[in-house]
Amino acid sequence: MKLVKKTGFFIAAAMIAVSCGKSGETVEATDAVEVGESTGTTLTIDPATSKVDWRGYKPAGEHYGYIPVTSGELTVDGDAITGGKFVFDITGLKIEDIEESDENYGKLYGHLQSADFFDAENHPEAEFEITGVEKFGSNDSIEDKDEFKTDNTPKKDSELIQGNPTHWVSGNLKMRGKNKNIKFPAVVSVANGTVSAKAGFNINRTDWGLSYGDESSAADKAKDQFIYNSVSVKFDIKAN
């Protein structure tokens, strides 16, 4: 497996508004980063206990669910993560705010799988590959993005973090054929041959071509007829 150790900020898709110890600094999206060689022991990700949660927002409401992780691995050297990669199944996406027996479930699922969103017919899987892991410093902070206010304004990045961050994780997120580098704060634990990593942050879906209902139209904002570009994502990954 490969890994490049980099300092500095990589953030996916103008999605996360994250700042590290520099007040007022907003990290922008970057292109994918070359992945270098990693060292250490390779652990297998447990698909039964690993998943990616998602939550999308529009003025009239929100939808949420998860995408299953199907395979992956993490490389560790002592108590440090030196590399890793996991794959998740877009076609296995689940919606949790609608009963699966409800006809609206099928309509929403079909729309999310269509070319308006994930284009799952051509891109059935997504992939995240680690390019760097750094300690989360005592002076590091998270800067929340300003969002257009409605009854369903997206959750703030600072609200999505799961616990007290221990590390910054950078990696290439490939989705719908587009590959972007992202960086986010995570709670990472390495002990007794087991690794767990949890993270929560926002991404800008349009950076991967998921542009249906793009909120950039002022006219649509005036009529509340748009879907927020910010999508909340939570990773819960375990490997042993």
Q: Is residue 3 part of a domain?
A: no
**What is the domain extent for residue 142?**
12-239
Q: Is residue 103 part of a domain?
A: yes
pTM recorded for the entire structure:
0.85
**Token output for 109:** 């699922």
Distance CA 204, CA 202 (A): 7
Q: Is residue 120 part of a domain?
A: yes
Look at the chain and report how many structural domains it folds into: 1
What are the pLDDT digits (tens) for 7-60?
333 223 223 333 333 332 333 568 998 887 888 999 999 999 999 999 999 999
What CATH code is carried by the domain that includes residue 229? 2.40.128.110
Per the CB < 8 A criterion, the answer to whether 2 and 83 are in contact is: yes
pLDDT for 233: 94
The residue to which tokens 């910054």 are assigned: 168
pLDDT band for 188, please (50, 70, 90 cuts).
very high
For 47-105, give the DSSP string: GGG-EEEEEEEETTEEEEEEEEEEEEEEEEETTEEEEEEEEEEGGG-EESSS-TTSHHH
